[in-house]
Structures are given as C-alpha cells and as structure tokens.
Amino acid sequence: MNHNTLSSSWYQDKEIFALEKKYIFSKSWHLLGSINQVPNKGDYVAKTINDQPIILTRDNNNTLNTFYNVCQHRGCILLEHEGNSKQIKCGYHGWTYELSGDLRTARGFDKELLDFKKYQLKPIKHYIWMDQIFIKFDDDDDNDLKKILKKIEKIIEPLNFSDYKYRKRDTYKIKCNWKVYLDNYLEGFHIPLVHPKLNTVINYKSYKTEIFDDFSMQWCFLNPDSSPYKNSEDNNKAFYFTIYPNILFNIAPGRLQTNTIEPIDEQNCNVIFDYYFKDVSEKKIKEDIVFSEEVQNEDIYICEKVQKGLKSNGFNQGIFSEKYEIGVSHFQSYISEKINNG
Ligand code: FES
Ligand SMILES: [Fe+2]
C-alpha cells in the first residue's frame, strides 16, 4: 500500500488535469444513466460527458443507441435536453437523421451522388448492465467493465437493479478537484466526525473496505432502528462501490443511488445523484432523499475545506492510515499509474 498521499499539486495543476482527461477520462467507461430515461420509441436525451456532446436514443426498432450529438454536414450540435421525435433534424442546414443514426435526407446534396452511409451519426460504444448504460469513447476492446460488473453482481446477489424504479436526479456543483470528492468517498474514517447522524444509522464497527482491480468496495451493517432505508431483516447491509475513476453505486435495502463525479476543471466538479427504489414506501423514499442530501452537504462542506487546505503553502503531502484508508491509497495508485504510464 502507498503510504503517502498524492501531493497537493495533483489537485490544482492545470497540466495534471489535462493529463487526467487524456489518459483517464477519454479511455474509461462513463455511466450515462438508466435505460428508463428513454422508455418509448423516439425518446432521446442529450448530454455532455467529458466535454463530448452525446445523444442517447431509442429508435423505431426499440434499439438503444448512443451517438456523438454532432451533424456530419458541418459539425453543428443536433439536439438539446430531451424529448421524443420521429427524426433528428439539424437546425443549421436541415439535414435529417433517423433515431438509429442513419442519414435520412441531406438538403442541398444530390441523393444519387452522396454516400449516405458515410454520413451516419458517429456511434459511441455502450454497455448495458441492470438497466444502467455505460459508454466509452475509445475503441479499445478491453472487457474490464464487464468483469467488474460480474464481480459486483456476485457480491450483491440476489439484487438486480432492473426491477428498481427511477425516481430523480440531483446535481451538485462542488468547489473541489474531483479527486478530493473521491478520496473522501473512499473512506468511512471521517464518518464519526463529519456525519454524526449517518454514524448512528450504520454500524461503524462493521465498516470494511475491500480492494479489487480497478474498483473497490466498502460495506457495513445498518442499524435497523435508525435507518431511513427499507427494513430488511435478511440483508441489512449497505454497499458502496467505486468503479474507477468516477462511478459510484450506493446500495441500501430497496435503494440504488448512483453517483458520477464529473470534473469541470482542476478545482471544480459536478456530482450527479440518480435515485432508484424498489418496494419502498413513499415515506421511506422521502426520508432517504432528505437524509442523502444532508450527508452530501456535510461531504461538500468538508471537501471544499480540503480543497482550500491543499492550496495552502502549509501543506504538500500527507499519509494514509493502513487501517482506514486503503481505499483512498488504492485509488490514488490507480491515478498515478495511469498518468505515469500514459
Ligand atoms: S451542419 Fe447540420 S445540416 Fe449543416
Ligand atoms: Fe462522507
């Protein structure tokens, strides 16, 4: 295990941030959301991930597609937000596309002379697991994500998130480097001090961290009396998975909360929460969301304080507790390896 933390320049240096984009985020899998966002034929959602404009569509054959949201005529962005449409029409010169990505009409061009196949929307690789859609920008054929998800599936058996219902999305803009948020997430060490209420909900003594290739897991038992989650006699556990670099699954009885940590620049990030529930009463859902917001606000407060401290001339590098911070150390080794090996 690494005993020293990354030095503070890793949290504020523009060049390191650019390297992270290049060697980590443009090669890693990203969580886009759930297939529930496009339940009907013709539904689409436009997003930006890692600075790339993307669209998710459900076409007439009920197939899900992920494309770059860019017209192949002269590069205009095609869709915004979300909606339902029979076709995708470019607002610049009027080219139209099917929701499957095929070019349908090319205004200003001779149908006989233009190779329509060449101007289809550019697809992005995706993978669906338990209704969650992951995308990847590069063409490397590595199956690491599949392996990771298989392992997670085994650990959480018999849970299957395909039966869970999507509830809502919250986005938090946080004034810290994206790794500050991850570092904080990857240990339960701070819980008694930063989250007094959460500390009564979980059984802190049972809190454990386990590390695997490219992901890690924290889990603990819940105290059923004070838990805002569904009472579950057979499986009163919470799991916190981190798929490196930035996908989190927070699992409690009857609830999946996914988080993605999206860097904005070297000192700011967005954290996106999606909530899914199964067989949970409305009262418990509301309780869970209020409680999650409370915990998140405590984490935001502490992360922003850490970012300020990292900028200070009075700190450069710290150390890890072997007992409590192996998850953070593992994550930071992953980051430095990716950057150092290019
Ligand atoms: S850029 Fe889309 S039609 Fe011209
Ligand atoms: Fe926390």
Give CATH for domain 35-127. Answer: 2.102.10.10
Q: Where in the chain is the domain with CATH 3.90.380.10?
A: 8-27+161-341
| pLDDT tens by residue, 1-25 | 779 999 999 999 999 999 999 999 9
Pocket residues: Cβ below 6 A from ligand 1: 71, 73-74, 76, 90, 92-95
Query: What pLDDT is attached to residue 57?
Result: 98
CA angle at residue 128 from 149 to 68, to 5 degrees? 125
The residue whose C-alpha atom lies closest to atom 4 belonging to ligand 1 is: 93
What integer pLDDT is reported at residue 142 of this predicted model?
66
Is the pLDDT at 341 greater than 90? The verdict is no
Q: What is the largest CA-CA distance in the chain?
A: 71
Q: CA 268 to CA 175: how far, in whole Å?
A: 5
For the CA atoms of 305, 311, 315, 321, the dihedral, rounded to the nearest 10 degrees, stands at: 50
Provide the pLDDT confidence category of residue 210 given band limits of 50, 70 and 90: very high
Res. 227 pLDDT band, cuts 50 70 90? confident
Nearest atom (ligand 1) to Cα of 106: 3
Q: Report whether pLDDT(162) > 70.
A: yes
Ligand located closest to 77 CA: 1
Task: Tell me the best of 92, 105, 107, 114 to mutate to test the pocket of ligand 1, counting ligand atoms within 8 Å of each CB and taking the most.
Answer: 92
What are the start and end residues of each CATH 2.102.10.10 domain in the chain?
Answer: 35-127
Q: How many other CB atoms sit within 10 Å of the CB of residue 337?
A: 10
- Closest ligand to 207 CA? 2
For domain 8-27+161-341, the CATH architecture is Alpha-Beta Complex (3.90)
The confidence score (pLDDT) of residue 2 equals 77
> What residues have CB less than 8 Å from 75, skipping those under 6 apart?
none
Q: For residue 96, how far is its CA from the centre of ligand 1 (angstroms)? A: 9
Mutate to test the pocket of ligand 1, among 89, 90, 96, 122 (most ligand atoms within 8 A of CB): 90
pLDDT band at 140 (very low <50, low <70, confident <90, very high): confident
